[in-house]
Amino acid sequence: MGSMLKSTLIALGMTALASAVTAPARAQESSFGPADAKETYYWISNKANLPLFVQYDYVGMKKIAEELGVKATGGRQVAVVGGWDPSLTESVKKCIEQGVPTVVDDGDLPASGRLAYIGTNWTQVGVAQAKKMMEKVPNGGKLAMMSIINAGNMREAVAGFKAYIEANGGGKYNIVSNEDDGGDAQKAAQVTAAILAANPDIAGIAGFDSESGAGIVTALREAGKNPGDIKVTAMEQTPDFFKTAKEGWVDGIVVQNRELFIYYAVKILHDYNHNGLKSAGLAAADGGRPVPDTLDTGVLLVTKDNVDKVTAALGVK
């Protein structure tokens, strides 16, 4: 597990980790770095072409591969485990047991023995949305939430949202629904329509996966609502989605610093293999941990106030 290691694997908490950890990545969608690189770092995902990843995550993958002179490869394995699934824990354990240094990003698996978690503090995602929701619905009212309900990181966001509302809302808010949209915009629209039918006086809806917001907005349009009739907070999707903040459909979009995810994941794994640092005298091969346990990459809240600057930077017209 030292500097002689030729390949290292990054397990994606928000997608899937192969259970066949010794097999090379197949059906690769991307590969960055020099062809003659002596080390390859694998990013394993079952949704490698998700627009969110292509737009942001691959930027960091390409940059770190070029900086370190290593190959960083994104793609799929034949055997995968469902994304954001707690069962990923056992797969990561197998990686570690077989001598494959492994970190996770975007959704943590603290019981897996992973070397590090790089990504968003999902509790703060919930808190950020709760703060904006309370600002936009100051007099209280009914609120609803939706996410990939069995995903560990989503549960953290939902819990953060709920806890902040309960602690700071003065009893004025009633969370009437916590729904599963399966990470699918079409299903999110269907879920939103059902929420509207059951709660015609709903004041706000919060969405916590990258497809929730698009589905919520679609359903509000189809229901004949006007921008601002129902307050909405969401996570980011594609750059075009930021237009919904400018148009008034979405009041706050929590944006993860996704460009940092794979960038720092590879950097940390490379350091683990090469920095030679020790923990209380123990090298990595002897059980030392010469890398940070957690790296919080933070979030940005896109609102009507800063959306023009964001869309201009992304080239969205």
What pLDDT digit, counting tens, does each position of 56-93 carry? 889 999 999 999 999 988 764 322 222 356 678 888 88
Of 75-79, 118-122, 231-235, the poorest mean pLDDT is in 75-79
Who has greater pLDDT, 144 or 53? 144
Q: pTM of the predicted model, to two decimals?
A: 0.83
The predicted pLDDT at position 157 comes to 96
The predicted pLDDT at position 188 comes to 98
| Helix, strand, coil % over all residues of the chain, rounded to 5 | 40, 20, 40
The predicted pLDDT at position 205 comes to 98
Question: Judging by DSSP bridges, how do beta strands 202-207 and 173-180 pair with one another?
Answer: unpaired
pLDDT at 273 over 70: yes
d(CA 229, CA 201): 10
pLDDT at 194 over 70: yes
d(CA 235, CA 256): 8
The predicted pLDDT at position 92 comes to 84
The predicted pLDDT at position 18 comes to 36
The predicted pLDDT at position 179 comes to 97
Interval 131-155 mean pLDDT: 95
Round the average pLDDT of the chain to a whole number and report it. 86
pLDDT at 218 over 70: yes
- Highest mean predicted confidence (pLDDT) among 7-21, 28-42, 171-185: 171-185
Who has greater pLDDT, 25 or 223? 223
d(CA 291, CA 60): 19
- Cite the DSSP H helix spans in 29-177: 51-52, 58-68, 88-97, 122-136, 152-168
The pLDDT confidence band at residue 1, using thresholds 50, 70 and 90, is very low
Q: Cα 109 to chain center, whole Å?
A: 13
Token digits of residue 267: 């950097």
Among residues 4, 9, 6, the alpha carbon closest in space to that of 265 is found at: 9
The pLDDT confidence band at residue 282, using thresholds 50, 70 and 90, is very high
Question: How many helices (DSSP H) and strands (DSSP E) are in the chain?
Answer: 10, 13
Among residues of the chain, what percentage have pLDDT more than 70?
Answer: 86
**One-letter amino acid of 309:** K
Who has greater pLDDT, 191 or 31? 191
pLDDT at 5 over 60: no
Domains of the chain: 7-120+257-297 (3.40.50.2300), 122-256 (3.40.50.2300)
The alpha-carbon radius of gyration of the chain (Å, integer) is 21
The predicted pLDDT at position 285 comes to 84
pLDDT at 234 over 90: yes
Among residues of the chain, what percentage have pLDDT more than 90?
Answer: 61
pLDDT at 124 over 90: yes
The predicted pLDDT at position 236 comes to 83
The predicted pLDDT at position 106 comes to 83
The predicted pLDDT at position 9 comes to 60
Who has greater pLDDT, 105 or 280? 280
The predicted pLDDT at position 305 comes to 96
